Amino acid sequence: MGIFDFFTKEVNEKKDERKTPSIGKPINTRETNGGAMQVFHPRSFEDIQKIIETLKNNQPAIVYLNGLKKDDAQRSLDMLSGAIFALDGGVMPIEKDIYIFTLDGVTVRR
């Protein structure tokens, strides 16, 4: 066994630890409240608090920021991005000014 074989073995062992569960076991162990995707059309920066509360309750959200002024939309996106980061989730643009905020363990594919 050469020195590089040791590193390869270590990497392969780490990959084995991250195997996906077998069929029938949930990949995401976080429970959702109803599991429904929430859709929001905020009209002011104050509406962002309700979206953050929804994310904290383990519900993903689609947010249309096109009803806000440009500065408010950017500020809202910054706040929501910070909240979803703190919750170990993710954000992905769907279209211009439309974003999906997902929770930890949820993958969105294009």
Tell whether the model's pLDDT for residue 31 goes beyond 90: no
pLDDT at 79: 96
Quick: pLDDT tens for 89-100. 999 999 999 999
Question: Which comes out higher in pLDDT, residue 97 or 21?
Answer: 97
Tell me the H-state helices in the chain.
3-17, 48-56, 70-86
At residue 110, the pLDDT reads: 67
Average pLDDT for 49-53: 94
Task: Report the alpha-carbon distance of residue 52 to residue 94 in Å, rounded.
Answer: 19
Per-residue pLDDT at 7: 47
> 69 — alpha (psi -120 to 50), left (phi > 0) or beta?
beta
H or E element, residue 38 = strand 38-40
